[in-house]
Amino acid sequence: MPVYLYAICRADRAECANGESLGERVRIVTSNDLAAFVSDCSGVPVASETSLWDHERIVEALMATRDLLPARFGSVLESDLAVDRVLADRRSELTDALRHVAGAVELGVRAAWTTAAGEHRPEDQPRGGLAYLRARAADQERGLQIAAELDRAVGAFVRDGRTRISAPVATLTATYLVVRSQIDRFCKRVELLRDQLPDVELTCSGPWPPYSFADPGAR
Amino acid sequence: MSQALRDKLLVGDGRFGLFGSELDRARAGLKNRINADQEELEKGLAQLVMTVIELLRQLMERQALRRMEGGTLTDEEIERLGKTFMALSERMDELKRTFGLSDEDLNLDLGPLGNLM
């Protein structure tokens, strides 16, 4: 029977703490010193806002009392045996990843700025090729500048980070692995940067399970 | 914005649907894996082909930008290249609209290597 994967943790941390309940559906599959939280399912679920939040709530509840590697929404494996195989085959990689995320959460930062190239619309006056390429170069440059500013602002408070600049729509998506005690400092830095960059829409969200720093999902 | 999302907002006001694309991404990612529906087949194929074209377009555009900044192109060459990329970009936007695809749909999740673009 297919099983839906929520998260992976160390086997000795999988047992429920006092008063903690996994709910009716979630159960534990153990393989050596690793364990996975799963539930029986009939296949890949339909992605909707409700189903995404359901997944999120279960993973967050599990994360409240232990370090874990969260699975992305929709991670389905063939059976308990397949889960066991993933845990066994990727044991060393998963153990390292668990060590990496210990005591930390993921914070997301998104930035959007006015794009020079994107301002052009087909219905506008035709524009020269040189102007277009210059605008694209300017967009790229601005994205790199914002990424550097962001890293400078929060770099001291993060354990790890991933940044992606999307030039055609002029947005930057960054995810950071932040120790819980540093969340407030991190946010203050983002707020400061927001004041310093009035032309950039900056948003910070979290705390999230460390999705970007551990992907044990079915592939 | 839902209350659950509001609770997750630490800085900023979450305007212009910055979070909306997460749902699109989840849907797109799942579609890639389970899409065996005949009606969706054409869209799936278009998505695959356009992903490859978009990758090539971006690679060539970056190369053109590098050459422009390096001063190895004449003004006429820059003008011609720029117009070509502009037309290609507009054509891609049209195709995306035709097939109901977003920028996020033209990305590939390469697992441990991250996203393609």
Per DSSP, the residues of B22-61 read: HHHHHHHHHHHHH---HHHHHHHHHHHHHHHHHHHHHHHH
Whether the bond between A207 and the residue before it is cis, its omega within 30 degrees of 0, is yes
A133–B68 C-beta distance less than 8 A: yes
Instruction: Give chain B positions within 8 Å (CB) of A183.
Output: 10
Does pLDDT of A184 surpass 80? yes
Is A125 exposed, middle or buried, given 0-12, 13-18 or 19+ CB atoms closer than 10 A?
Answer: exposed
Report which of residues B20 and A39 the model is more confident about: A39
Q: Residue B42 has what pLDDT?
A: 77
Q: What is the mean pLDDT of chain A?
A: 87
Spatial contact of A83 and A38, defined as CB atoms under 8 Å apart: yes
Closest CA to B13 of B1, B23, B25: B1
Top-confidence residue, A158 or B53: A158
Whether B18 and A201 lie within 8 Å, measured CB to CB: yes
Q: Hey, are the CB atoms on B75 and A130 less than 8 Å from each other?
A: yes
Percent of chain B with pLDDT strictly greater than 70: 67
> The pTM is what?
0.78
Write down the pLDDT at residue A103.
96
Residues A77 and A68: their CA atoms lie apart, in Å, by 18
Does the structure show a pLDDT above 90 at A25?
no
pLDDT tens for B85-95 read 989 888 988 98
Question: Of all helices (H) and strands (E), which one includes residue B10?
Answer: strand B9-11
Q: Read off the tokens for A44.
A: 């890949």
Residue B107 or residue A42, greater confidence:
A42
Interface touch A129/B115, C-beta < 8 Å:
no
CA distance A114 to A132: 15
Residues 78-117 of B with CB under 8 A from A: 78-86, 89-90, 103, 111-112, 114-115, 117
Mean pLDDT within B72-101: 89
E-state strands within A79-194: 104-113, 160-166, 171-179
Highest-pLDDT range among A45-49, B25-29, B83-87: B83-87
At residue A18, the pLDDT reads 61
Question: Is residue B31 scored above 80 in pLDDT?
Answer: no
- B88 close to B60: Cβ distance less than 8 angstroms: no
Query: Over the stretch B35-58, which tens digit does the pLDDT of each residue have?
Result: 556 656 777 888 888 888 888 888
Q: Is there a contact between A144 and A168 (Cβ–Cβ < 8 Å)?
A: no
Instruction: Write out the H or E segment, with its range, that includes residue A128.
Output: none
Give strand pairing partners of A200.
Answer: A113
Confidence at residue A172, expressed as pLDDT on a 0 to 100 scale: 87
d(CA A177, CA A157): 9
Q: Which structure tokens are listed for A34?
A: 């690793």
Which residues of B are less than 8 Å from A122 in CB distance? 90
Among A94, A127, A133, A171, the strongest candidate for a mutation testing the B interface, having the largest count of B CBs within 10 A, is: A133
Residue B29 has pLDDT above 90, yes or no: no
**Residues 6+ positions from A118 with CB-CB distance below 8 Å:** A139, A168, A169, A170
Tens digit of each residue's pLDDT (9 = 90 or more) over A89-141:
999 999 999 999 999 999 999 998 877 665 545 455 557 888 888 888 888 88
Q: Which of A160, A168, A198, A214 is nearest to A34 (CA)?
A: A214
Q: Coil, strand, or helix at residue A73? A: coil
CA-based end-to-end distance of chain A: 17
| Rounded Cα gap, residues A117 and A164, in angstroms | 18
